[in-house]
Chain A
């Protein structure tokens, strides 16, 4: 078939890994199912709230916006986490576990405990 000639084949997709609850990751906006997510279409910061134990389960995350007026848990700038501007942890969504790959979900570090507890309290 013509397309088989045009397009090389590859092996299996990049393997997924399990994130740590309470850690911040920068994820590709496509993982969240909506184009244009994020301030500039770039990676979206999320903090992991829960990880399903099921093989085909989902990862629950809270997303962060740099809009100061969004409802949620306020969070100051945290450059060490790749968050140079103050923002708000504002919404909870889930991501398919199979999409959590090193390419599309980059680890940044643990969220400050006091902020994480507040996020958990608000959203879980």
Chain B
């Protein structure tokens, strides 16, 4: 007897509400390709994208409740396995981009704090979150808009030292430049700022992001056919299609789409069903949507719009029921408005 074929990643996720072997293999593969092809820096402690770096990043991507919910949302928002892979890839790009920004900005905040601490021109104001001011300058928290602070940096001369090491990051600017920038910002602030506030302003003047966010190729992109998702006509078509599908959904189905992030057990409680029944209904709904969207030009957009409509419907329904209950409390019970939407 031949063993059964492994389920595809999206199918597996919809059925079990968790990443299984196929999903894990896909995620590892996408993290590796996206990270290397788009030249993202490896995570701290790694000097290249080896298997351990990929594994750690994939685990970070999934870590916590938010990570799991994100992958489940991707599964429902995609209409098929190919769409799932495409949306998951974009989520991985965004994750690596966020991580890269956080790391680079964190490094910049640390550098700013170091200079503020070392240089006698600045004084630290203790508090729940330390603030910084010019020595003998005003210490009240600054209310000057960030744009004014950024403008104050314009005339400041910034020198970037020559750097040849390939192993260590080049400094963003020399120490004197940092001191001049921080002094200019705090003078313009006419008060105190946190190191993070200051770093945000400094970042507008320095190339603090070490890595290109992508290595897009311009010539081919213009030569290739554009994705239909960029076309406003397709977007409008997705909205219309989503509204049509919404009208055909029962209340339970709308709730399932609005709360697709819920584990099956909790979904069952919401719908008043057993866990196994809720799982079956959810699987049927996914299959039905997949079939309905077979001829859709951009099923991903339609699903995103449909989920949004269902979430709005559920929010309206919840507030309407709240009002109904209040009316009932006052002896003026209103009819069950939402019961007419079901099939």
Contacts and interface: CB of A to CB of B under 8 A. Distances in A.
A94 to B, nearest CB: 9
Interface stretch (A17-25, A33-41, A74-82, A112-120): A33-41
Contact of B217 (A1, A14, A91): A91
Interface in A63-106: 63, 65-67, 70-72, 88, 90-91, 93, 95-96, 98-99, 103-104
B322 interface: no
A26 B184 CA distance: 55
B227 A30 contact: no
A57 to B, nearest CB: 13
B62 A6 contact: yes
B38 A33 contact: yes
B223 A67 contact: yes
B258 interface: no
Interface string B60-87: 0011100110000000000000100010
Nearest to A91: B220
Contacts, number: 103
Given A41-B227, A103-B29, A104-B33, A90 B219 contact: yes
A124 interface: no
Given A6-B19, A33-B38, A34-B216, A91 B223 contact: yes
Interface SS of A by simple majority:
loop
Nearest to B222: A70
B75 to A, nearest CB: 14
A3 B37 contact: no
Given A30-B89, A96-B37, A104-B33, A8 B24 contact: yes
Interface in A45-72: 63, 65-67, 70-72
Most buried by A among B20, B33, B51: B33
A33 B217 CA distance: 8
Contact of B34 (A1, A14, A30, A66): A30
B25 A10 contact: yes
B224 A67 contact: yes
A10 B24 contact: yes
* Interface residues on chain A, size class: 35 or more
A111 B32 CA distance: 29
A71 B33 CA distance: 28
Given A9-B55, A10-B25, A34-B214, A96 B224 contact: no
A41 B82 contact: yes
Interface size class of B (residues with CB under 8 A): 35 or more
A35 B89 contact: yes
Nearest to A56: B48
A12 to B, nearest CB: 5
Contacts of B55: 9
B28 interface: yes
Contacts of B28: 10, 13
A99 B24 contact: no
A35 B90 contact: yes
A5 B313 CA distance: 36
B24 A7 contact: yes
Contacts of B205: none
Nearest to B218: A91
Given A8-B21, A91-B217, A37 B89 contact: no
Contacts of B34: 30
Contact of A7 (B62, B64, B214): B62
A72 B90 CA distance: 30
B225 A34 contact: no
Contacts of A98: 36
A103 B25 CA distance: 12
A37 B220 contact: yes
A67 B214 contact: no
B223 A70 contact: yes
8 contacts: A1-B63, A13-B29, A30-B34, A31-B37, A35-B89, A71-B219, A72-B223, A99-B32
* Minimum-distance CB pairs A-B, first 7: A70-B223, A91-B220, A33-B37, A33-B215, A3-B59, A30-B33, A65-B223
Given A1-B63, A90-B223, 15 more contacts: A6-B18, A9-B55, A10-B24, A14-B29, A32-B217, A35-B90, A37-B221, A37-B224, A41-B227, A65-B220, A66-B225, A72-B223, A90-B219, A96-B37, A99-B32
